[in-house]
Chains A and B, each alone.
Chain A
Amino acid sequence: EDKVVQSPLSLVVHEGDTVTLNCSYEVTNFRSLLWYKQEKKAPTFLFMLTSSGIEKKSGRLSSILDKKELFSILNITATQTGDSAVYLCAVLRPSGTYKYIFGTGTRLKVLA
């Protein structure tokens, strides 16, 4: 059965800390892995990763994929209170129509 597992489930840090969020997956016919930030209800897109070893960066956020070991990490440096959110990892696999398998998310709280 396809599954996506994120760790830790929750994390509390102070402003300025660096955090690493993990996402491991077991998905047949892997196509891509996506990271989302969910602050209230709607997830907002952060990164899409398709190739191993190529780091994607956007400001203080970066992410990398390891297709051999079947995991991805999301790094956030110099965290701010505005980074507090649930971070979701999703893996896309073709299944008739394309289908996303979502992890349960990591709830990050950044304290001032």
Chain B
Amino acid sequence: SAVISQKPSRDICQRGTSLTIQCQVDSQVTMMFWYRQQPGQSLTLIATANQGSEATYESGFVIDKFPISRPNLTFSTLTVSNMSPEDSSIYLCSVEERVVLSTGKVATEAFFGQGTRLTVV
């Protein structure tokens, strides 16, 4: 399975500032995913980052707030912009490995980086 390095591991930031989270994979992957996990909540997909094209954002998330870069097939960044306390969450990057089922259909296994615990004060 892919090895994913994510940093920073944690940060405490002032409101109104921005934080960029980095995610490095040890193999080339087509898509990288960014999730948010607010306190006591489940993982919510923010966006899908494809190399060479703009990221695809999920409902409720916009590029101005969460700009994403994907300069190559092993690296991506997520920026949390103009932060407020409501942005305090764990942010996770993820990659998927495809598995061909006995039925011939394709499923995937998602693997996650170590996560970034962001606290906005």
CB distance from A21 to the nearest CB of B (A): 14
Of the residues B48, B90, B107, contact of A41 by C-beta under 8 Å: B90
Main secondary structure of the interface of B (DSSP, over half): strand
Distance in angstroms between the alpha carbons of A40 and B92 in the assembled complex: 12
Do B99 and A42 have beta carbons less than 8 Å apart?
no
Residues 19-43 of B at the A interface (beta carbon under 8 Å): 31, 40-43
Interface size on B, residues (CB 8 A): 30
Report how many A-B pairs have Cβ atoms within 8 Å: 60
Of the residues A32, A42, A104, contact of B112 by C-beta under 8 Å: A42
Do A97 and B110 have beta carbons less than 8 Å apart?
no
CB distance from A90 to the nearest CB of B (A): 7
Chain B residue nearest to A31 (CB atoms) is B107
Q: Mark B103-121, 1 if CB is under 8 A from A, else 0.
A: 1011111111111110000
* A45 cross-chain contacts in B, Cβ below 8 A: 1, 109-111
Of the residues B9, B42, B108, B116, contact of A92 by C-beta under 8 Å: B108
Binding site for B on A (CB under 8 A): 4, 31-32, 34, 40-45, 48, 50, 88, 90, 92, 96-100, 102-105
